[in-house]
Structure 1
């Protein structure tokens, strides 16, 4: 069994979507990040960066002690390799060219789409006051990244050709497109892919009962929640 430490953020949903697509058994362990559960010593032993998601694989390939993993991209690579090429439904191809296609788009999401979309989501929804420069900067950069993905999807059904972990990684970061200040009608190939992804049974299972964390109704957080979520530094001692 694999424990998935989870909150319904885009990165948490990304990991959960992988399990649902792969049909891999898992146990969901909720982490209330608004109450600071990510700073508990027992969680930091698994995820030293105090972020979600994280996993504990109690039955790693080859046996031995449980494997702990943090960082959503690393988790998906680990799990794709764990289930092997015969079972992973081509979530990451075994041939060099196919694997390279998937890896570069997975890392594109990790280094570009996720951080930039996260910033505009923050400044549009959670910031206590409007910061025009930040909003303009991150709206434009997120638009550029949406455009990159739209162009990529112009002549293929999925990001790396066949369905893969690249699609799983990107989809949860497109779900809150309204909070990103983006209109999917401006990106027709991306919109077509988004609809295809949304209709997949695994996506429906993953998002059942999940609220959009970037929706305006979820933006009214307390000062304590704001401090916990956004006020940490290397010198913070109060968890």
Structure 2
């Protein structure tokens, strides 16, 4: 019985520490649309790009520790390149990459020693020829996978704003606004302007470092994979 309690206590402490690390995570917006997928990410520490291209039509965004995020996306890229020996760029599956990454996150969290991905989360987006076939997934620090198909906000807009208990009211308001304005028929350039005009999201665009990536669906349809991933900022 005491052994069970000890394991339970250890798990709770790990969860609290992971949440403390991720409580400082910079915000990320993912906006799927008919034209493609828009990804906007800020980087408070300004040390490296947070949006990474994996075989052109897959993007990975990391949240959490710098070193852990680097290990995570590099592992995902290596997994994709291994598949790429036998598959074309149009056939490398984000689902396989996520399966492996999920296992690594779970192992890092539950292992006897904290693994290299402890306190890290990730967002993967895969653009396909049709929006209905896109694959968008959020992996939390324990390795659980949650898919989504609408605009989403991750991270915290302002980590210095006090929470109301477990709730981040600023983020709650931003998520509601994002849900209200999401329209997959809008052009991605219009979306950037709309978000920039919204007071709740304006701080993202005035951040010390912001990355904006669009993933072009028309390039996927043409098989021009080197034209899919475009950085606009």
Say yes or no: TM over 0.5. Answer: no
- TM-score bracket for this pair, using the shorter chain length: 0.3 to 0.5
Q: Which has the higher contact order (CA 8 A, sep 6+)?
A: 2
